[in-house]
């Protein structure tokens, strides 16, 4: 028992020193200032003296699913959690960094909490788009909001844009399924009605069954809050197959949203995604018009996962004392978000649409006599 305790103590001390060494390595070797990860350079960068240091990171690796059940916290030694008292957002920062304002709502009312950061990521898609380019992309996006007020489109400016990593899981699995389904195809029969010959459509149903095997790679399931999920969904895709092994350097100068969905719940969502894809793959082998029923039973094997951080710029613009958030994919530059809507423009479209419908109805009555 004493030997095991000594081994545990040695292991803990080694891990502590490793964390300390990682933190020290983020200091500029030339001037001693804190270095931040530069999206443009893909490396650590000193904003004071211009020193550049490469990030030593390999391609990320898949983790056996059994470890998801036994993984402990593991991220608390190198990061801490801040909570916004205004909107409730929770952000994870490196130990040597502190939050001044909330990335989502921009308010300064953000405080450190005693919460544990959660499971330590093992993979990251690094930022590849600079903050300046993300801001320019957001400005172009605002100009294209056709239903936004004219003054907003011309004068709105991105404010408080910040880089944030959004948590997600990717899953790989081999599947073996058995299925049964009832499908239908449209057929037509000729009959007479009111002295006229007409074609009547009916549905012919038939049963199918079989066995189907498939493999899935990097099925992405978001583990962030509802705000984060909405952002990531609209600015996908992210090239998770080229993700890098997570190191603390990637978080330097950025924040990460705290995971809001447990890994096992994400796995259940991943299985739902796989089932939907399996159904589509199986049905693609049949000719049908309607699906009356579909039942599938699937076995999953060789399941692996990555707990991955996705790069997202979060910003907002003010319009008549209201904040409108936008999000920029930190790897591709794609933008999504919300913008104010002009009631006058919406009314004009509604009136125009009603006029078009009325015109089509008049043409139909005029030329068909009906």
The answer, yes or no, to whether residue 209 has pLDDT greater than 90, is yes
Distance, in Å, from the CA atom of 51 to the CA atom of 44, rounded to the nearest integer, reads 8
The answer, yes or no, to whether residue 243 has pLDDT greater than 90, is yes
Condensed to tens digits (0 to 9), the pLDDT of residues 75-103 reads 777 777 888 877 777 788 777 677 767 77
Condensed to tens digits (0 to 9), the pLDDT of residues 294-319 reads 999 999 999 999 999 999 999 888 88
Q: Say what the pLDDT of residue 112 is.
A: 73
43-52, 82-91, 195-204: range with lowest mean pLDDT: 82-91
Condensed to tens digits (0 to 9), the pLDDT of residues 143-196 reads 888 878 888 888 777 878 889 999 999 999 999 999 999 999 999 998 887 878
Query: In Å, how far are 57, 172, 310 from 125, measured between CA atoms?
Result: 12, 17, 5
**Residue 110 φ then ψ, to 5°:** -130, 130
The answer, yes or no, to whether residue 333 has pLDDT greater than 90, is yes
Kindly state the helix (H) or strand (E) to which residue 315 belongs, with its residue range: strand 290-319
Q: Say what the pLDDT of residue 9 is.
A: 41
Point out which residues pair with 110 in neighbouring strands.
84
Condensed to tens digits (0 to 9), the pLDDT of residues 265-280 reads 999 999 999 999 999 9
CA nearest neighbour of 184 among 280, 284, 291 = 291
Distance, in Å, from the CA atom of 302 to the CA atom of 175, rounded to the nearest integer, reads 9
Q: Taking a C-beta distance cutoff of 8 angstroms, is the pair 87, 102 a contact?
A: yes
Q: Say what the pLDDT of residue 2 is.
A: 40
SS (H, E, C) 138-179: HHHHHHCCCCCCHHHHHHCCCEEEEEEEEEEEEEEEEEEEEE
* Residue 271 in tokens: 């299985």
pLDDT band at 1 (very low <50, low <70, confident <90, very high): very low
Q: Say what the pLDDT of residue 114 is.
A: 67
The answer, yes or no, to whether residue 18 has pLDDT greater than 70, is no
Kindly state the helix (H) or strand (E) to which residue 370 belongs, with its residue range: none
Q: Quick one: how many helices (H) and strands (E) in the chain?
A: 7, 15
Phi-psi sector, 253: left (phi>0), alpha (psi -120 to 50), beta: left
pLDDT band at 16 (very low <50, low <70, confident <90, very high): very low
Is the pTM higher than 0.75? yes
Distance, in Å, from the CA atom of 131 to the CA atom of 36, rounded to the nearest integer, reads 13
Average pLDDT over residues 285-301: 96
Q: Taking a C-beta distance cutoff of 8 angstroms, is the pair 246, 309 a contact?
A: yes
What does DSSP assign to residue 33? P
The answer, yes or no, to whether residue 5 has pLDDT greater than 70, is no
More confident residue, 98 or 48: 48
Pair type for strands 43-45 and 63-64: unpaired
């Amino acid at each position: 028992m004493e030997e095991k305790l000594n081994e545990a103590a040695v292991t803990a001390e080694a891990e502590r020193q490793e964390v300390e060494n990682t933190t020290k390595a983020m200091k500029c070797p030339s001037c001693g200032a804190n270095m931040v990860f530069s999206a443009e350079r893909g490396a650590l960068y000193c904003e004071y003296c211009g020193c550049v240091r490469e990030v030593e990171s390999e391609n990320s690796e898949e983790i056996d699913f059994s470890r998801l059940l036994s993984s402990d916290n593991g991220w608390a030694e190198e990061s801490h959690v801040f909570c916004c008292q205004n909107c409730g957002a929770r952000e994870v920062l490196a130990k040597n960094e502190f939050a001044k304002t909330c990335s989502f709502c921009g308010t300064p009312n953000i405080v450190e909490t005693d919460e544990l950061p959660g499971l330590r990521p093992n993979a990251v898609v690094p930022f590849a788009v600079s903050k300046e380019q993300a801001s320019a992309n957001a400005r172009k996006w605002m100009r294209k909001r056709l239903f936004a007020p004219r003054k907003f489109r011309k004068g709105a400016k991105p404010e408080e844009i910040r880089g944030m990593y959004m948590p997600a899981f990717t899953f790989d699995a081999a599947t073996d399924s058995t299925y049964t389904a009832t499908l239908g195809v449209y057929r037509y029969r000729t009959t007479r009605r009111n002295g006229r010959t007409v074609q009547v459509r009916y549905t012919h149903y038939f049963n199918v069954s079989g066995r189907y095997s498939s493999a899935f790679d990097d099925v992405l399931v978001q583990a962030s809050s509802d705000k984060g999920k909405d952002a990531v969904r609209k600015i996908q895709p992210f090239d998770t197959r080229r993700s890098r092994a997570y190191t603390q350097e990637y978080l330097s100068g950025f924040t990460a949203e705290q995971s809001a969905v447990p890994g096992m719940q994400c796995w259940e969502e991943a299985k739902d995604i796989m089932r939907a894809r399996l159904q589509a793959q199986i049905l693609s082998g049949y000719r049908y018009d309607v699906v009356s029923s579909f039942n599938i039973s699937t076995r999953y094997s060789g399941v692996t996962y990555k707990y991955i951080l996705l790069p997202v710029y979060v910003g907002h613009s003010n319009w008549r004392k209201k904040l409108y958030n936008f999000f920029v994919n930190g790897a591709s530059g794609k933008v999504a978000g919300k913008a104010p809507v002009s009631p006058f423009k919406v009314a004009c479209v509604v009136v125009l649409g009603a006029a078009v419908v009325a015109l089509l109805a008049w043409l139909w009555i005029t030329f068909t006599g009906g």
